[in-house]
Structure 1
Amino acid sequence: MKAILRLAWQSLVNRRTTALLTLLTVAISVTLLLGVETVRTQAKASFANTISNTDLIVGSRSGQVNLLLYSVFRIGNATNNIDWQSYQEISQQRAVKWAIPISLGDSHRGFRVIGTNDSYFKHYQYGQKQHLTFSDGRPFNTLFETVVGAEVAKKLSYKINDEIVIAHGISDQKFNRHDNLPFKVVGILKPTGTPVDRSVHVSLGAIEAIHVGWESGARIGQTPDAAQLAEYQFEPKQITSFMLGLHSKIQTFALQRTINTYKKEPLSAIMPGIALHELWGMMSIAEQALLVVSGFVVIAGLLGMLTSLLTSLNERRREMAILRAMGARPSHIFFLLISEATVLTSAGIVLGTILLYVGLFALQPMIQQQFGFFIEVTLLSTYELTLLALVQTAGIIVGIIPAVRAYKHSLADGMTIKI
């Protein structure tokens, strides 16, 4: 068997151009197959790790996926706001242990601005019930102080005591900036791999203060400066959503029903886990389509290898005949062709896996910045190893076809080919 493998390797070296192209075809198809699976699983993990140990998310009446997207992932916008009195009444329910108000609507150089309070830094959790921590600085405690996420600080090179200007609305343009009311950076959060990294956090009072004189959606006349606004105690009139942690998980369904039937205004209370499950259900068709496409790419790569072996087989019939004349049995010829297919497939799998990891390390920062989720580079999972085993098996099966043809070639037929 070692002699056959050595002979197969030498044969591939002699046909190195064709073998290299076949190897690259298999490698690229394997890279795509593993890449699709990695992105699919890591995207799920990243989304699932965005919020942890939160029992309910409350917003204006809408679908639970939409509420989850804008309140947790900062994707899209709310259909309506929530009255501040409603938040206070619900957050004071006996079942509620803590509440985190969220106010959205403004931005800073492409990053969302989040209005909230101290509860956000005390109770918000992500991943495996991990709390937010600071790499530098502290939480805000005055009107015009801000805490920025790790990605914001990194991309915009912010440091403690730097000043930033918030823009009115999602589009950050010169005409809609609150440039007369700059905020001072007092805290930078450690990376979390969640949308928190791409958020600018200010107090709820600050959200109200910077919109004095902007009631119509645009600046009208002269607006008060920071010194004037600091003299007032601002309380929000409305917020976008809020998160709730309960004393007992058993109380979740009862409180959810109470909120969903709240009479003062139409509200929706969702459980993050169930909303995520619905989101994955909506995305399952796209996931399956990607896996099918990557599967067909692998099949195309293996068919390319089959074509290469069959094409070279006619050119190698004299080689096979000489091997037979030197004492090689038909079974040796059979296993020689299968060995070549096995070597090509194995090498393609190894090269494809290497290309996958190189690509992940290279694209990891860009994917996090552009699409908002962190791809953790880990060892291949059991499922991915199973996929590679199936590819290897398919490569061996593909090698059987030219091997059978070579097996059937007679010695006389090989020796009489005209050259």
Structure 2
Amino acid sequence: MNLRSIIALAFSSLMSRKGSAILTILAVAVSVMLFLSVDKLRTAARTSFENTISGTHLIVGARTSPESLVLFSVFHIGNPSANMTWESFEWLQGREDVDWAVPISLGDSHKGHRVVGTTTDFFARYKYRNETPLTFSEGEAFADLFDVVIGARVAEEQGYKLGDGIILTHGLGDVSFSGHDNLPFRIVGILEPTGTPVDQSVFVSLEAISAIHVGWESGAKSPIANMMTPDRVRGMDLETHSISAALVGLTDNKRLFLAKRSIDTYPQEALLAAIPSQAIASIWKLIGVAERALLAVSGFVILVGLVSILTAIMTSLRERRREMAVLRATGAGPHHVMFLLISESALLAALGSLFGIVLTAIGLYVLAPILETRFGLALSDFGPGVFDLQVFLAVTIIAAILGIVPGWQALRNSLADGLSIKL
């Protein structure tokens, strides 16, 4: 009895028990699909996270940690511990090695969405995912003092359209009783979805940030603030005195570290220049524990699937004692019986793994547009790859090793029974 005939016999034996074999294959397929899906989504999440901002060489703000600076300026999480003066921004903007600089001012919100004060250069300079620029699905950048541009998710969640009026509020809560009700804004632009914090943001001019804070100098609303009207504010000096941070593009990327050192040692103000890619990688190390834990859990699910193979074969041994006796009577040796059970285990795992890989590819192909639009997860490679092949081989080999257990039990049964089957 050669290897080919044993494998053919193993396949025929499985086909004679189609019900349990199909259920076992499905169990392995689902576990493999879960493991591969988690791995591909984990990779996509990390790539998308790292590509939240692209083409910006430095982010400059008041001295703090690089991670904190990137979190509040790019991801809009938290607030700066201190602001950067406008004089320092002008110095930064005038440096020979600086090609462009875009100011950012944070502090207010609208129904839980961060309000970002900036200039129209932001819409031209901010890039994400392989230097993809921002584009407008409707309207254009703000031009008037009380114009506002909103991200795609803001428009979707709040049901906004061009021309709608909105009220900005002081602070970051979803519900605030400190609103700038007397100074309404008008939506003039809606951005295309990006899968970045831009989608959840509301953009106004720096002058607008100054306008809504007239009478708020103490941090609380004063009677002067209640007296402000749009026409009255327009006639005031709305000079910007400080900003939260600045996005910077250099004339030459080779001067990155020299520029960073020069900014970090600026004598007039304690500034910090953070390299976005480095800070984001550091942040991912902190939050990446969860995705590694999820991958480990899905790995244990594969083990459960493999145990189901072992259970299915072990429970069938008692019913198959006559089959084993017949095999021994027709010339099959002990090692043939052992290899038969190992082959069955490996076949179940191989078929289940293959089915799981196919299901993963189909599922991610269907969900790819939704994941990119809703969550910013760009699945560039959802088809079978090297890692899928490694998982296929690993699951098959482990199953073959586990098949030694029922193989050994079948061998013992056949040796004890001889040609007389004990029922």
| TM-score bracket for this pair, using the shorter chain length | 0.7 to 0.9
Choose the corresponding residue for 1:226, options 230, 252, 264: 230
Using the alignment, how far apart are the partners of 1:268 and 1:50 within structure 2?
20
- Indicate which of 49, 52, 77 corresponds to 1:50: 52
Q: 1:401 aligns with which of 395, 405, 411?
A: 405
User: Is 1:8 aligned to 2:17, yes or no?
Assistant: no
Q: State the distance in 2 between where 1:41 and 1:208 align.
A: 42
1:376 corresponds in structure 2 to: 379
Cα 1:387–1:80 shift into 2, 3 Å: farther
Distance 1:197 1:216, change over 3 A: same
State the distance in 1 between where 2:229 and 2:322 align.
92
Point out the more displaced range, 322-331 or 378-387: 322-331
Cα distance in 2, alignment partners of residues 68 and 381 from structure 1? 34
Shift of residue 233, structure 1, vs aligned partner: 4.3
Aligned residue for 1:269, secondary structure, equals strand
* Pairwise CA distance, 1:329: 6.1
Could you tell me which of 262, 266, 270 is aligned with 2:266?
262
> Are positions 1:410 and 2:414 aligned together?
yes
2: CA distance, partners of 1:350 / 1:224: 68
CA contact (8 A) 2:104 2:116 kept: yes
Structure 2 CA distance for aligned equivalents of residues 384 and 264 of structure 1:
55
Partner of 1:217: 219
Contact persistence 2:194–2:373 (CA under 8 A): no
User: Does residue 269 of structure 2 align to residue 250 of structure 1?
Assistant: no
Does the Cα contact within 8 Å between 2:170 and 2:179 map onto a contact in 1? Answer: yes
Whether 1:122 aligns to 2:127 is no
Q: Structure 1 residues 30 and 223, CA, compared in 2 at 3 Å: closer, same or farther? A: farther
Post-superposition CA distance 1:74-98 (Å, at most 9, x none): 2222222111221111111111110
Question: How many residues are treated as equivalent by the alignment?
Answer: 414
Between the aligned partners of 2:75 and 2:25, the Cα distance in structure 1 is 41
- The 3 A distance-change label for structure 1 pair 256 and 340 is same
Amino acid at match of 1:93: R
1:242-277: per-residue Cα shift (whole Å, max 9, x none)? 111011112222221121112232211011122223
- Which deviates more from structure 2 when the two are superposed, residues 20-29 or residues 43-52? 20-29
CA distance 1:273–1:350, shift in 2 (3 Å): same
CA deviation map 1:219-239 (0-9, x unaligned): 333241222222234222221
Shift of 1:21: 4.8
Q: Does structure 1 retain, via aligned residues, the 8 Å contact 2:151–2:190?
A: yes
- Deviation string 1:348-370 (CA, Å, 9 cap, x unpaired) is 3245442685489569858976x
Query: Alpha carbon RMSD of aligned pairs, Å?
Result: 2.9
Instruction: Give the match's secondary structure for 2:193.
Output: coil
Map of 2:196 onto structure 1: 194
Aligned to 1:272: 276
User: Sequence identity, in percent?
Assistant: 44
Query: TM-score normalised to the size of structure 1?
Result: 0.88
Conserved in 2, the CA contact under 8 Å of 1:37 and 1:384? no
- Name the SS for the 1:104 alignment partner: coil
Where in structure 2 are the equivalents of 1:303-314 lying within 5 Å?
A: 303-314=307-318
CA distance in 1, matches of 2:157, 2:272: 35
- Higher mean alpha-carbon deviation, 120-129 vs 327-336, is at 327-336
- Where in structure 2 are there 5+ consecutive unaligned residues? none
Instruction: Determine if contact 1:8/1:337 at 8 Å carries over to the other structure.
Output: no
Question: Tell me, what secondary structure is at the counterpart of 1:57?
Answer: strand
1:298 and 2:307 are equivalent in the alignment: no
Alignment match, 1:386: 390
Of the candidates 128, 132, 135, which is equivalent to residue 133 of structure 1? 135
Question: Does the 8 Å contact 1:137/1:188 carry over to 2?
Answer: yes
Q: Deviations over 1:95-141 (max 9, x none)?
A: 11100111112222222211110110121111112211112211111
- 325-334 or 185-194: bigger deviation: 325-334
**1:337 Cα deviation from its structure 2 partner:** 2.4
2: CA distance between counterparts of 1:311 and 1:279?
A: 49
Q: How far apart in 2 are the matches of 1:393 and 1:56?
A: 49
Deviations 1:285-311 (A, max 9, x none): 555444433333322331232133223
Instruction: Provide the rounded CA distance (Å) in 1 between the counterparts of 2:227 and 2:94.
Output: 35
Aligned 8 A contact 2:37 2:360 in 1 = no
2:266 is the alignment partner of 1:236: no
Compared with structure 1, are the counterparts of its residues 270 and 229 closer, same or farther at alpha carbon in structure 2 (3 Å cutoff)? same
Corresponding residue to 1:33 among 32, 35, 38: 35
Letter in 1 for 2:417: D
Once residues 363 and 71 of structure 2 are traced to their aligned partners in structure 1, the CA distance between those partners, rounded to angstroms, is: 31
Distance 1:3 1:200, change over 3 A: same
Are the aligned partners of 1:52 and 1:129 in contact in 2 as well (CA < 8 Å)? yes
Structure 1 contact 136–189 (Cα < 8 Å) conserved:
yes
